[in-house]
């Protein structure tokens, strides 16, 4: 279990291993680990085998302590990193999340121009991506249907995700921290979702979908200012499908929001909710929130999925799948996932 965790975590910081982590990369690593509640000793073990290229000061350690509530072993490892980095250059401060801008909405003409740029970005997005591989870490939860669900963890699934010539391939290699091989990802059952690498965004922005957009608000996603638009795609124009465990599927309409980065006009987040699911279908509600972030592959930044949260209700039960995409690296024919 521990070796598997260490390998997956090391992928997240692999790009910085030779030159050392920046303080910002350390912060992002701890943020991602706090979301998945990994054991204190395992997070600490990763930090102990890492090194920094910038100085980690006490102020940032206190900020990490307040925001992420790390365990005592992680705190001890952070203090050790701080001691080892005393002679290094000062780090660029990790900024607090900016607040949403307070200014008038863009004019109708400006909104149309923004959406035209977003549509061009979305339709060309998958073509602009390099061939790569990453690790998809997924934790699945379940609960009885309730206004305040009492979530329980069902399982964890770690998958080697390859993106090659605009096609995705999923190869599970850990299930509940136990090695698996040769199994199709769908064989693990439960609620699942796909299409995080462009197809969801492309279908929303495809003219065939005839999505209706309206201005929502200014906002903040991933510490970046965004413009948020609401959208709706009617059933007759939709290609959004929901699959149930008994191999039934249904196409529904949907609505949601897209968050567009200022000033690049690239999409940083997509949220969507299914509409008018047939009453006799096993799934009665479905929603998906996909967040993007800039990831480095071969020294170049690309906007790629960072996190996805998928929720479904049906037959008195609720499920919540949390996915984190880490360890992006360039794909090559001899690239392998091995335990070190």
User: Do 199 and 162 fall within a single domain?
Assistant: yes
- HSE at residue 139, side-chain half, CA atoms within 13 A, is 13
CA distance linking residue 89 with residue 302, whole number of Å: 27
Helices (H), the chain: 2-12, 23-36, 40-48, 58-68, 72-84, 108-128, 199-205
Is position 149 within any domain? yes
* Structure tokens given for 174: 């850990």
Is position 90 within any domain? no
User: Do 196 and 306 fall within a single domain?
Assistant: yes
User: Do 25 and 132 fall within a single domain?
Assistant: no
User: Do 18 and 117 fall within a single domain?
Assistant: no
The verdict on pTM exceeding 0.95 is no
pLDDT at 80: 92
| Domain coverage including residue 236 | 108-330
Q: Which of 84, 118, 141 corresponds to the end of one domain?
A: 84
User: Do 164 and 234 fall within a single domain?
Assistant: yes
**pLDDT averaged per 10 residues in sequence order, the chain, 340 residues:** 44 51 82 70 83 88 79 90 91 68 90 96 88 90 88 90 84 90 75 64 93 95 91 94 77 95 94 92 91 89 91 90 89 52
Number of structural domains found in the chain = 2
Asked if 272 and 240 touch (Cβ cutoff 8 Å), the reply is yes
Is position 183 within any domain? yes
């Amino acid at each position: 279990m521990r070796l598997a965790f260490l390998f997956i975590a090391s992928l997240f910081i692999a790009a910085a291993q030779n030159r050392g982590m920046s303080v910002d990369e350390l912060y992002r690593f701890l943020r991602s680990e706090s979301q998945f509640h990994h054991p204190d000793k395992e997070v600490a073990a990763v930090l102990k085998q890492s090194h920094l290229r910038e100085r980690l000061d006490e102020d940032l350690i206190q900020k990490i302590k307040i925001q992420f509530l790390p365990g005592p072993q992680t705190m001890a490892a952070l203090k050790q990193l701080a001691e080892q980095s005393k002679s290094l250059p000062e780090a660029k401060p990790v900024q607090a999340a900016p607040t949403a801008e307070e200014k008038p909405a863009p004019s109708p003409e400006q909104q149309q121009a923004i959406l035209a740029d977003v549509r061009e970005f979305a339709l060309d997005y998958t073509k602009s991506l390099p061939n790569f591989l990453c690790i998809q870490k997924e934790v699945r939860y379940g609960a009885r249907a309730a206004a305040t669900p009492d979530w329980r963890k069902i399982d964890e699934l770690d998958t080697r995700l390859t993106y090659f010539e605009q096609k995705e391939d999923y190869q599970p290699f850990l299930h509940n921290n136990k090695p698996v091989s040769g199994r199709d990802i769908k064989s693990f059952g439960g609620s699942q979702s796909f299409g995080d690498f462009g197809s969801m965004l492309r279908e929303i922005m495809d003219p065939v979908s005839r999505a209706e957009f309206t201005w929502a608000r200014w906002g903040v996603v991933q510490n970046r200012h965004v413009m948020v638009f609401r959208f709706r795609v009617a059933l007759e124009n939709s290609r959004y499908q929901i699959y149930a465990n008994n191999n039934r599927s249904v196409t529904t309409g949907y609505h949601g929001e897209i968050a567009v980065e200022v000033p690049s006009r690239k999409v940083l987040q997509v949220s969507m909710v299914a509409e008018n699911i047939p009453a006799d279908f096993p799934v009665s509600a479905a929603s998906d929130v996909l967040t993007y972030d800039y990831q480095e592959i071969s020294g170049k930044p690309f906007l790629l999925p960072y996190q996805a949260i998928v929720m479904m209700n049906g037959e008195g039960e609720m499920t919540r799948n949390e996915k984190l995409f880490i360890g992006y690296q360039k794909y090559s024919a001899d690239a392998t996932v091995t335990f070190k």
